[in-house]
Amino acid sequence: MLGFLIRILGNSAALYVATYFLSPAFIITGGIKEYLLAGVALGLLNMIVRPALKLVLSPIIIITLGLFIIVINALMLWLVDYAFVSVAINNLTTLVWATLIVSLVNMVVATFTKTID
């Protein structure tokens, strides 16, 4: 449970970092509440939907040598954008860059949560 809470905080921090670097095209309006809500949504999507997509799309992931996982991560971030009015991603390029930033920050957070879980 503690690991999941740390992942939610990591998702929120990753969204903040993406907003910081991609500010005119990737915006989360509001305060810390919106970052936490978007982090919870992204965490739940990564916990529930992402494994099912990876299972179904595993042949494509194998053919592309794992690069299709970036597309799956972008889809998760796009679903958060679609679900929340406070999250705005202007174009596909911004979505790709935000996905890479969020994935990188989550990779760093995941190294710390493995020692806690």
pLDDT at 117 over 70: no
Tens of pLDDT along 12-63? 999 999 999 998 999 999 899 999 999 999 999 999 999 999 999 999 999 9
Nearby residues of 38 by Cβ (< 8 Å), 6 or more positions away: 11, 12, 15, 28, 80, 84, 86, 87
pLDDT, position 3 = 78
Domain total of the chain: 1
pLDDT, position 4 = 82
Closest alpha carbon to 68 in 59, 77, 60: 60
By residue range, what is the domain housing residue 75?
A: 2-116
